[in-house]
């Protein structure tokens, strides 16, 4: 095949040498606009996984690169006059110029044609090529030419950064945070050769402009950074190799994804690779990794499918299918890390103590978990766990056991929880006329005995016409109250758990069948009239609600107050107001479901007016010493709907009205929603509200093991973790998770203690059976 790689960066060079090595008969050319053995840039960071792949595909190149690597294990934080260091992180760095020179030399050795000082205008310059690799970077001309095919999505991020270097030799990957009169700056620093370190300085656009850096030239900008980070630089100077950039040389990062990566132009197949196809923020140092992994995967597909022209379409299809998954995973982690640095000033730096700030920074991508940190640096993590436990009110003996973060107590108003795990309210659809029965008693009682510190029955409806389905729980009469009393008394007398009640009104999502008879489908008979903020059905064929009148509002508010008074008299420990998931109060908050033109529609204040009226009314009758929480949909996941920024505004309003905690869920407001699922996908919403609004939060969503909960709690992303479906599968979820992580202090019910040792023994046997034996 005739192969042309446009752009002599890591992607183009590495793919060229791999293809020539695998099939020497290919005619492979790399065209680069710079001079031979010349490039711009400082250092790049590699992962161990990428190096392992490079050793497999071309040991000679891998060995040469590894000889030039700088290895370091430590991360050091410079923050608020403190230096904190942790080890075991295993980074490798190399100068970008050095790496590209190694790849260029290997290309020449293998017979790849290198063409320098040639500014390619587009794929039309190579009409005889069978395959054209567009590895011409983030500003790719070829991608721009075929934008209607590739459909690039470029989002410019708000932070400003400048990529500098210094001749100071740093022995750890160093993060230095400095506060000025206008806000925070951070430096990302790592050594990549014997004499030089990369020194990236970053800040928000507001701080950048407040200091007048946008009016500075490069020399003035560099002098500003030298003064700001003088202590860390210790007399060393900062250097630039970006004299070709105008002004201060500060940039905005562009996050790029493309809908399609390949195209047949009539003569040649064109495929995007590296930064021309996707970008990942330097916060996790993954841009070069993605480029190398692209090159390896495309080569692998040619090996699998065939090194001939006829195979190219199938190869490109398979390449994109495989790589798109891994790129999305890396981009998601990079996005989390990038967003952490974008909000660090307003969310963490002013409020977190250095110890927790360090933990939050280390786990910013959500790829590094609590137990992963233990593998990296056991001593540091155990020291942090002790620090965290002491601040939670635990006083462990100097050489005694320390509870992991999820097993520390938490106090809010007059309620103290034994640990940080909540059994989330989950609809069981098994009541008759709102009445709890033996099923509900056993369901709630089993989870309370299973170790959860706080258990909730499902959303409890404040009137018969507030139900989602005929099978939903209610608290509007004495018979229901009597049945709930059994549940509350059992939890209080037989378990160490607390029990809460979540009250709500289904609104336009009411009068539907129980899910196993047709989820969200209107009841066939015995329905009731629906009300909502506006006359909009949930589904096209759903019953039409009427827009609430003032009379309706007064009646429903009275129902909430009455249910709260009953819950108070029953002895529930905490009350949660359900204002999420598209139910009645949520329908007022979201602009997707609130189209009113009166004082209850339009602005945030107007949309929150009625939910706040309800909240204030029930706060008056709920005991002062007992906490109240509010469940919010912190993201509507649909264009024009509420975003996390809107949710923070509402959270502040409820906090000001007396809410003690915000339960941070998302979605279910409109059926057309397009949520982005993933590991702990809703935790960032809790993180934002807790640390920007300064109100305790409950995190929910895809939290399914102790490692998840410990990571969330330890980082300060939430105060409690609500676990739903895992509690359905395992009533003793908390007891079992404690055993899995070796936490022996979790108390089991006295009746079940004899089963604990058997459970632990079985875990140990399973671990031993899974461990490698070392035998052939």
Instruction: Give catalytic residue positions.
Output: 583
CA angle centred on 682, ends 625 and 358, rounded to 5°: 80
Within a 10 A sphere around the Cβ of 619, how many other Cβ atoms? 18
Name residue, tokens 């499918």: 305
532, containing H or E segment = strand 531-532
- The span from the CA of 372 to the CA of 775, in Å, is 27
Q: Among 535, 534, 549, 576, which Cα is nearest to 422's?
A: 576
Would you put residue 680 in left (φ > 0), alpha (ψ -120 to 50) or beta? left
The CA-based diameter of the chain, rounded to the nearest angstrom, is: 87
The whole-angstrom separation of Cα 241 and Cα 260 is 34
| Residue found under tokens 């597909």 | 301
User: Both tokens of residue 27?
Assistant: 């005619």
DSSP states along 228-285: HTHHHHTTPPEE-S-TTS-TT--EEEEEEEES--EEE-SSSEEEE-GGGT----GGGT
Q: Reduce the DSSP state of residue 92 to 3 states and report it.
A: strand
How far is it, in rounded angstroms, from Cα 660 to Cα 572? 16
Among 183, 250, 241, smallest CA distance to 210 is for: 183
The secondary structure of 302-324, three-state, reads: HHHHCCCHHHHHHHHHHHHHHHH
CA distance 757 to 445: 23
Give how far Cα 440 sits from Cα of 455, 466, 564, Å: 12, 19, 20
CA 758 to mean position of chain CA atoms: 37
Helix boundaries (H) for 111-198:
141-145, 147-150
Distance between CA atoms of 537 and 509, rounded to whole angstroms? Answer: 8
Q: Which helix (H) or strand (E) holds 722?
A: strand 720-723
H helices, E strands: number in the chain: 25, 30
Q: Is 560:475 a contact under the CB 8 Å cutoff? A: no
Contact 718, 689 (CB under 8 A): no
501: which strand partners?
575
Phi/psi class of residue 297: alpha, beta or left (left: φ > 0; alpha: ψ in -120 to 50)? alpha
Residue 56 makes CB contacts below 8 A (sequence gap 6+) with none
């Amino acid at each position: 095949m005739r192969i042309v790689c446009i752009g002599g960066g890591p992607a183009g060079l590495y793919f060229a040498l791999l293809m020539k090595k695998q099939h020497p008969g290919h005619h492979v050319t790399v065209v680069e606009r710079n001079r031979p053995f010349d490039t711009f840039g400082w250092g790049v960071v590699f992962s161990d996984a990428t190096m392992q792949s490079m050793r497999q595909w071309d040991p000679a190149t891998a060995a040469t690169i590894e000889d030039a690597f700088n290895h370091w294990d430590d991360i050091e934080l410079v923050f608020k006059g403190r230096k904190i260091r942790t080890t075991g992180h295993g980074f490798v760095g190399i100068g970008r110029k050095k790496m590209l020179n190694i790849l260029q030399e290997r290309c020449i050795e293998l017979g790849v044609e290198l063409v320098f000082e040639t500014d390619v205008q587009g794929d039309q310059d190579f009409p005889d090529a069978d395959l054209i690799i567009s590895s011409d970077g983030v500003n790719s001309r070829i991608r721009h030419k075929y934008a209607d095919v590739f459909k690039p999505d470029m989002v410019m991020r708000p932070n400003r950064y400048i990529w500098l270097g210094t001749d100071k030799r740093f022995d750890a990957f160093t993060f230095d945070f400095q506060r000025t009169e206008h806000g925070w700056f951070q430096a990302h620093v790592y050594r990549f050769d014997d004499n030089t370190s990369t020194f990236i300085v970053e800040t928000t656009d507001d701080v950048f402009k407040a200091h007048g850096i946008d009016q500075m030239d490069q020399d003035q900008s560099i002098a500003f950074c030298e003064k700001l980070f003088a202590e860390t630089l210790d007399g060393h100077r900062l250097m630039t190799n970006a004299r070709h950039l105008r002004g201060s040389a500060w940039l905005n990062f562009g996050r790029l994804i493309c809908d399609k990566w390949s195209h047949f132009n009539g003569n040649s197949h064109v495929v995007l690779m590296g930064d021309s196809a996707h970008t990942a923020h330097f916060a996790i140092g993954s841009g070069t990794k993605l480029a190398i992994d692209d090159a390896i995967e495309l080569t692998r597909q040619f090996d699998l499918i065939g090194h001939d022209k006829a195979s190219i379409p199938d190869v490109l299809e398979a390449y994109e299918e495989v790589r798109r998954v891994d790129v999305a995973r890396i981009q998601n982690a990079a996005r989390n890390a990038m967003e952490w640095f974008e909000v660090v000033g307003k969310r963490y730096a002013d409020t977190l103590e250095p110890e927790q700030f360090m933990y939050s920074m280390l786990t910013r991508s959500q790829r590094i978990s609590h137990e992963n940190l233990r593998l990296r640096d056991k001593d540091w993590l155990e020291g942090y766990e002790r620090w965290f436990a002491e601040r939670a009110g635990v006083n462990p003996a100097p050489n005694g056991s320390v509870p992991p973060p999820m097993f520390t107590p938490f106090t809010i108003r007059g309620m103290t929880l034994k640990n940080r795990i909540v059994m989330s309210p989950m609809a069981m659809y098994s009541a008759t006329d709102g009445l709890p029965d033996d099923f509900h008693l056993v369901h709630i009682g089993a989870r309370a005995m299973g170790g959860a510190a706080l258990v909730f029955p499902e959303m409890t409806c404040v009137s018969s016409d507030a139900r989602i389905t005929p099978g939903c729980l209610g608290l509007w009469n004495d018979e229901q109250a009597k049945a709930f009393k059994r549940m509350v008394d059992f939890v209080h007398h037989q378990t160490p758990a607390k029990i809460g009640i979540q009250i709500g009104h289904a609104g336009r999502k009411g009068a539907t069948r129980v899910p196993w008879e047709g989820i969200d489908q209107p009841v066939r008979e015995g329905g009731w009239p629906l009300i909502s903020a506006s006359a909009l059905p949930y589904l096209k064929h759903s019953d039409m609600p009427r827009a609430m009148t003032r009379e309706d509002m007064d009646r429903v508010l009275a129902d909430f107050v009455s249910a709260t008074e009953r819950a108070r008299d029953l002895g529930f420990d905490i009350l949660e107001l359900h204002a999420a998931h598209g139910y009645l109060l949520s329908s007022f908050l979201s602009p997707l479901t609130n189209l009113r033109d009166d004082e209850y529609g339009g602005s945030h204040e107007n949309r929150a007016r009625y939910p706040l009226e309800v909240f204030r009314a029930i706060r008056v009758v709920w005991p002062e010493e007992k906490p109240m929480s509010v469940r919010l949909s912190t993201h509507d996941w649909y264009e024009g709907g509420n975003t996390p920024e809107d949710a923070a505004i509402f959270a502040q309003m409820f906090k000001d009205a007396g809410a003690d905690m915000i339960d941070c869920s998302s979605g279910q407001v409109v059926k057309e929603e397009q949520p982005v699922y993933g590991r702990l996908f809703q935790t960032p919403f809790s993180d934002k509200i807790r640390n920007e609004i300064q109100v305790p939060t409950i995190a929910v969503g895809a939290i399914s093991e102790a490692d998840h909960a410990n990571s969330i709690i330890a980082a300060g992303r939430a105060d409690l973790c609500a676990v739903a479906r895992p509690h359905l599968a395992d009533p003793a979820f908390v007891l079992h998770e404690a055993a899995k992580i070796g936490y022996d202090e979790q108390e089991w019910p006295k009746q079940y203690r004899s089963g604990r040792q058997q459970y632990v023994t079985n875990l140990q046997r399973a671990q031993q059976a899974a461990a490698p034996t070392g035998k052939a």
